Amino acid sequence: MESIYYHRETQVFTLRTKHTMYQMQVRQFGILVHLYYGPDLGHTELDYRIVEQDHGFSPNPYEADTDRTITLDILPQEYSSYGIGDYRICASEILSQDGSDVADFRYKSYEIWEGKYSLKGLPSMFGTPSEAQTLSIRLEDSVTGVTAVLLYSVFPELDVITRAVRFENDGDRSYRLRKGMSAQLDFLDGPLDMIHFHGRHMMERMPERERLSHGVTQVGSRRGASSHQQNPFVILCRPETQEDYGLCYGLSLVYSGNFLLEAEVDQMNQTRVLMGIHPAQFWHEIQCGDFFETPEVIMTCTTEGFSRLSIQLHDALRSNLMRSPFVSKQRPILLNNWEATYFDFDEEKLFRIAEQAKKLGVDLFVLDDGWFGRRNSDFSGLGDWWVNEEKIKGGLPLLAKRIQDLGMKLGLWIEPEMISEDSALYREHPDWCLHFPHRNPVRGRYQLNLDITRKEVRDHVMKEIFQVIESCRISYIKWDMNRSLGNVYSTALAPEKQGDVYHQYVLALYEMQESLISRFPELLFENCAGGGGRFDAGMLYYSPQIWCSDNTDAIDRLKIQYGTSFGYPVSAMGAHISVCPNHQTGRSVPFEARAVVASAGTFGFELDPVNLSEEEAAKAREAMSFYRQTWKLRQLGDYYRLSDPFSNQDYVIWEFVSKSKDEALTEGVILRHQPNSPVFFLHLRGLDAGREYREIESGKVYTGAALMTAGLPLPLNYGDFCAFRLHFIVA
């Protein structure tokens, strides 16, 4: 079956995956309209869904002459532009040298080829000719010579379609792109709900569901990063859709900077959705013969609810976006020293921590902030990527050798995008930070953003970091970013180019990370931005995991990891066991519950193992042992959310099921014990109804149908925050 088909007589394009279908049509006057996106409807054309009629105060194209039934203000379009009679939110806005800001895009041609398109300097999904097929459609504005090339790649087996746009300048004058969204979806009927993922530092990706109503709804970021406050992943769904049933769409922007998702319900109850780079503080001059490519949007659709939607996205990201060898390989269990020491350490304290971690069975010791420059607090040192030998006597290579001689690997924290005013680098190059001329800067965490849009800055920083990595045989890097972009002005760019700084910053970031993983392909690389401030698909192209949140409290993490799981694999969520009382909340949680929550992520420790009691150390060993036994199921299996921590105050439960359906693991936390408690039933999902499963600890055997339909009573544990686990294999 072809995944992309063009019907020459009707000029209908059909894109088809295993279970879904996407359709558009070139209609009269070269107007490209959107017909449908949803479950596969077979070999049918849906142009009959377009009903043309006269609508008052909705203008008509000039070519329509006296025909008032054709209006861009009502037609569902594949890619809209400003100034041509469509008063809804638009996907593109072009400013010409004569001051006009109109582009009238009409169909010109198409091309279909095997394999996946690529984007210059931008992360995107990849695919072989056997995995993906690509369609490009050229839309042209005849007056300016501006061309919008709509790019679609279809991954049939993944039920995924990706989209991006390339703006080309074939005219004789430059023009300014002021808005260029990556994807547009026009829905002819509704209603639709939208689920977005808001938050704040230490409480990221909280799901919020709302009915799209008449007018414009927006979520996005203008912080220079995808942000803690919003996430560039959203779900659109029918009002009745839930975890295990109902029509829903997932849209994930493969981009780590400013973004915008906007949706408008129009006067005819149609819904338009746009996603791409935030147009605020953005413009890009496209010279004659040049082009600009937008970031990619990954789209997937299902009629089987949010769990199936998440599984489709998880599979797509793991197989065709994330490139690290650790995606399908067992990762080392690490211990990070940050909450154990903060800035207060020397080489002997670090070695004692590493030595005790090794006795526990930890694989990797990670040295966090404070090892470089004059970094004794967060007021100084950033930018000076040389070892602080006043704190680490003998230098980092000597300490690294001592730790590695224990049989452990060594990891390192870095923050390459930042500079402290109290640093040798700032004193030598004060112009290397982003700053407005003749103004005092706005500080964040008492640090400034390096102007990494400048090549000499990127080269200097990465050269110093590479030297440290090579001198110490570093096995893991944690790349942090602890403030939003501010003072966004580059003295290396002309005034008319300043609208490009935000985007050029993101491209520079990608170039730096590409240089890191290219030079050290076996490095385990973890991204971070004050925890989850840059948790997006763009970052996963470079690193297989992202520190999920700076909040290590296990009970808060239940909500954070729950929300994150809608759009991102569990294997991407950096999660650690920390001490109690917790450093962020002061809450005390049993060790078993902390271990279970961290196991629903990459699993590691954020504590001083020297201070663990014998009982806690034994529990830590047990948790590591079980995690190592089940890593493949967790990392590569299907993930199901079996309860909602925002509506259920009694328990939080999740489940992993192997792709072959011969193993399942259900874990959770009973949040509060109730006297004279009712019995709660656990209903598993994703099993084979006709097979029998044995619960390993009890030895009891159940049919898959019984586990999913009749369910199992939850254990009646005493006390709050009690963890539980049920592990099933085919009998």
Domain end, chosen from 588, 604, 636, is at 636
Give the sheet arrangement for strand 577-578, strand by strand. 573-574, 545-547, 524-527, 476-479, 409-414, 364-367, 334-336, 604-606, 577-578
Count CB neighbours of 86 within 10 A.
Answer: 21
pLDDT at 1 over 70: no
Lowest-confidence pick of 83-92, 375-384, 652-661, 671-680: 671-680
H or E, element range at 199: strand 193-200
Domain end, chosen from 320, 353, 378, is at 320
- Out of 78, 186, 536, 608, the active site residue is 536
What confidence tier does 476 reach under pLDDT thresholds 50, 70, 90? very high
pLDDT at 704 over 90: yes
What confidence tier does 631 reach under pLDDT thresholds 50, 70, 90? very high
Give how many domains the chain has, as a whole number.
Answer: 3
Q: Are residues 159 and 207 in the same domain?
A: yes
Asked, as a colleague might, if the bond just before 191 is cis with ω within 30 of 0, I would say yes
Q: Are residues 621 and 657 in the same domain?
A: no
Residue 328 within a domain:
no
CB 369, CB 415: distance < 8 Å: yes
Q: Tell me, what CATH number does 725's domain have?
A: 2.60.40.1180
Q: Are residues 581 and 657 in the same domain?
A: no
The model's pLDDT over 322-337, given as tens digits with 9 standing for 90+, comes to 999 999 999 999 999 9
The larger pLDDT score, comparing residue 92 to residue 675, is at: 92
pLDDT at 716 over 80: no
Percent of the chain with pLDDT strictly greater than 70: 100
Burial of 328 by CB count in 10 Å (0-12 exposed, 13-18 middle, 19+ buried)?
middle
Q: What is the pTM of this model?
A: 0.97
pLDDT at 717 over 80: no
- The CA–CA distances, whole Å, from 159 to 20, 307, 674 equal 7, 14, 44
What confidence tier does 198 reach under pLDDT thresholds 50, 70, 90? very high
Q: Are residues 158 and 226 in the same domain?
A: yes
Lowest-confidence pick of 54-58, 540-544, 674-678: 674-678
Q: Give the CA angle between residues 329, 309, 135 to the nearest 5°.
A: 90
Tokens describing residue 337: 């020293």
Q: Are residues 405 and 549 in the same domain?
A: yes
Residue 276 within a domain:
yes
pLDDT at 2: 84
The model's pLDDT over 16-37, given as tens digits with 9 standing for 90+, comes to 999 999 999 999 999 999 999 9
Q: Are residues 413 and 298 in the same domain?
A: no
Q: What is the mean pLDDT of residues 624-650?
A: 97
The model's pLDDT over 369-396, given as tens digits with 9 standing for 90+, comes to 999 999 999 999 999 999 999 999 999 9
Q: How many helices (H) and strands (E) does the chain have?
A: 12, 39
Distance CA 561, CA 556 (A): 9
Q: Is 695 a catalytic residue?
A: no
The single residue listed with the structure tokens 């679609």 is: 152
Residue 137 within a domain:
yes
Q: Are residues 671 and 577 in the same domain?
A: no
CB contact set of 56 (below 8 Å; sequence gap of 6+): none
Q: Are residues 682 and 628 in the same domain?
A: no
Distance CA 601, CA 597 (A): 7
Residue 451 within a domain:
yes
The single residue listed with the structure tokens 């539980």 is: 724
pLDDT at 131: 97
pLDDT at 634 over 70: yes
Q: Are residues 612 and 672 in the same domain?
A: no
The model's pLDDT over 409-433, given as tens digits with 9 standing for 90+, comes to 999 999 999 999 999 999 999 999 9
- Out of 550, 616, 638, 667, the active site residue is 616
pLDDT at 102 over 80: yes
Q: Are residues 59 and 207 in the same domain?
A: yes
Q: Is 536 a catalytic residue?
A: yes
Q: Are residues 265 and 348 in the same domain?
A: no
CB 198, CB 178: distance < 8 Å: no
Q: What is the mean pLDDT of residues 679-683?
A: 93
Residue 488 within a domain:
no
Q: Residue 705's domain spans which residues?
A: 651-730
CB contact set of 427 (below 8 Å; sequence gap of 6+): none
What confidence tier does 675 reach under pLDDT thresholds 50, 70, 90? confident
pLDDT at 719: 80
pLDDT at 400 over 80: yes
Distance CA 403, CA 723 (A): 34
Q: Tell me, what CATH number does 397's domain have?
A: 3.20.20.70
Q: Are residues 566 and 680 in the same domain?
A: no
pLDDT at 542: 98
Q: What is the mean pLDDT of residues 575-592?
A: 97
Residue 522 within a domain:
no
CB 134, CB 160: distance < 8 Å: no
Residue 424 within a domain:
no
Distance CA 442, CA 692 (A): 62
Residue 692 within a domain:
yes
Tokens describing residue 55: 């609508």
Percent of the chain with pLDDT strictly greater than 90: 97
Domain end, chosen from 294, 320, 346, is at 320
Q: What is the mean pLDDT of residues 423-451?
A: 97
CB 640, CB 309: distance < 8 Å: no
Query: What is the rounded radius of gyration, in angstroms, for the C-alpha atoms of the chain?
Result: 27
